Structure 1
């Protein structure tokens, strides 16, 4: 699982290093040196940063200014901010808290105190957000419940009077649109957003009086008689009786709006309406708006006595006065929103589907506000997943426990012939036939025995792929959920790899290797490019037995399927293990799988592994058997049983000394070229790197002598290393050139970091050589790719920097041009 991100903003390299060393085990640290960089980082990592540690005094924009900007952008609600400073005065502390800081920590730092206060701040902020979400969710559910009840009432009433069931909702929506546009045109009416919402809700009750009008009159398809028309017109007064007859809530604003709308929504601007014949502004403005909305929606809706008219004809009829006269200002408002209203009519034609979609979204958002905020991100991620799935033939799946269902990738569907989604797969005969009942039972048993800290499962299974039974490896990620029964598996995301051919070859090697090997065997090895051994399949047993004379354990790894050579009386035996990591008593893959790396890079890899109280040295080389790549693992103990009493600290010290002798440059005490070649050059990903060259180094040797050159190398290396964080790596690449790798440094911070390094080197003074002034040129690159490829771009940037001298030139990921910074 990814660590939470902490943003440390402090212009002091030492202070950042101290905090980073305290916290990097628990958090992913992002470092910035100024206020502007802090805001940029908050914008870049928006939604990912758990807390901000903010220094008060920084060059340019200080900590208090950053707080003010965060408050204006409403970022303090999402990012708890802890001020860090040597200042202990009440004025500083009061101002920090008044601006919205969550805590205030004074230097010098106490590691335990700092860690616990950060954890408590994050937990408190998380609980606060959860409580706010719960409260907001409760209110949204209440609003939704009210909406549902009103919709049911309106729907029942409209069905009784023979309308479509959407008229009242349409009137409410158009009422809200007209009111908002009216407030844009004039400030005469003092209506708030809450008022508009209540008026729109009350507008849906405008025809509630029709409940007391005989339905046969309302549904009559022919013109009404005068007596019948008089009955219909009574619905305005009857509506008021219904609303005012409610024993409760008579003092509520919503009821007052409803009364005005029910009684006056058939009044007209010039007085030709009913029931009171009101004229002009004597008609309540809410009734005027609902009157216009009611007329438009009635014209564009189907009735028992007329078809639905299109938007253009409805607008023409309203302006021509065929529905009576209306307030000219409201007619202008209707014209302003004409296109929006037209779209509303089009949407209403697809009302069934869109209504279901909106209801689901609203209910989902009401129950889990935090999840609703992530809906867009989830939709984007799902779209990406669907797209990339369609581009690959890989077999992957996702299984949910509740409800029990499995979804398959395009490749899995093609290979198995199964549908993309299977509900309750454990009872689906086609699914059982494809994957095998034994596989399902083995997975169920594995899940039942899963410990709380296990997140990965691997199984070997025989699965029907392409109509043939194939040996497969199933790798799964376990996703857990908290329930009343505790933390359990809620979902499995997995991949199926067809290893049938590799497995069959290893079994063949096993059979051929069972014969005794008693005579001396010469290794039939052809050494090619890199550290690759090439042999024929009938020579596997002999080769492994020879290696067994030098190593305690010899294994041929796929990786995933293993053969292990064990000792015997003049013979050797091949033992199968379903998982290569089981030899170390592990339940999941090694984090540092050197066999996989050896196969990928064709370079011999090494590591130290532990098993109980024993420590082992492991070598892995690529071996090709009839052209098919495997890893040959050779293992020897580096601590014997007789030395078990030796302390772990002593052993670790010996390993560190050995590692230092191999990878540390004796002159500069930074990493050497061998470290780059073996550990760095093949790294891939998004990287921030730099090449450093000491300016006029040949001139320094020629003028001041080689001892001065050596001193310059040491001083530059140690100065640069002092400017770095603990996780960054400085390597003497060759001569007076150094290679620099930043881990997790944001792109926007690379240029300023390299500028600081140039400045620091310029300040170096060598007491033995007072006339010697040092400077460096740096070529930096922030890009995605393999280090060995990116270093070429860094060389180009360094070349440009050397031309300008004493510069840091950076090529960024977002453009192809160089951005240079002058350090004068």
Structure 2
């Protein structure tokens, strides 16, 4: 927030200074340029050790000497830029970086400049920097009130300033407090900086301009209201110098500073968003066109040690229609983790049985059908799959004797035993009241596997005996079709239950007469054998 406040205050004081005097030949373009460049005033602090930057107590002489180097370090960083260092914006930013700690009486640093030897841009940013430091909470002090900060500046407690700039500060003091308290920052076009001289406007133009300004003010108010409601983090990224400026919510939302130099190589920034995500976003932005510059994506970020989902909406900035050069981007990050968690929860509920939390029959069918693939896409032997239907014998007794809550515990226990008996990638699903499905890839003879699983399932649960009947079908010699594979396992299960429970039958072990006779029955196992015959 410090950077944004400095931008806002810089713009207000410069606009007032242009009204007050022609001693400094400022134009609205100059004001916009200085305001933008002011965001770089403290970039040299990246070279200051963190233990000094965040020290809660008073600096030692040695520590203060180290801290004072940041202004020269920042200007040197901009001087060392290979590209764009001669651009006006960079030159202005360089002046601000180096001289925003100089004072009117020559008692500042690093060069001891005095009076108007200090560029007007640096003079104004110096005052804005001091005011915001006074009115903001720091590790070494609580915030001062607006009125107390003004008194301290007027009485020279923070160094000497240009009397004209102090006069401008007094003139905008009331509006300043209002703007900063409402979060109106230097990122938007100031209404004051858009005012046109009445001498150059006739009445019609003045009325039109007034209406335009009112609309702009309304849009600015609306923008800030919705931004605060959504808790979004806005950002501006420049390619040269490589830098990202984060807005209001960055400090407590992402635990990141407002300005990050060379973000793609910054350890904290990359740890938050991940190198892969950042590289993907960069590729997408660079792949845009001038007439289609927007990127819309979602990414994970690590905030406070926890993974959260963010919606990223970004717009690439290009130099112009002729041989466009990528300049950077603007955009916003919106925390959608709560929404994402709700979506994941809904998806889980849609695909899983609510009692046992294994997948449901519909989702199992989808997954297994995809794994079976088309007839010509698989090696019949290497891609052999086994589908087994498992039925809890005498489960009705559990409900009738011990009650339905006990019956629910039996089912949950049985589902856990099933999951423990197979691999993580195998499918375990509940497809009926006490009927479950297993589907596994098994390139070898499946009989030892089925025998091991069956033995692991039988036993007892809280004194209730667990007896299990299984029907098994294999993809050998059958079209790779889920419905046909399921039907065959169902027929095998029916045969097992009719012939005596507790055990398993492979469909391939049935002879033609047994298969045909079962297919002529009114129903098979899952269609209701236990509902027609008591499991006594």
Give TM class, smaller chain: 0.3 to 0.5
TM-score, with normalisation over the residues of structure 1? 0.26
Larger Rg: 1
**Greater share of helix:** 2
More strand by share: 1
Q: Give the TM-score normalised by structure 2.
A: 0.36
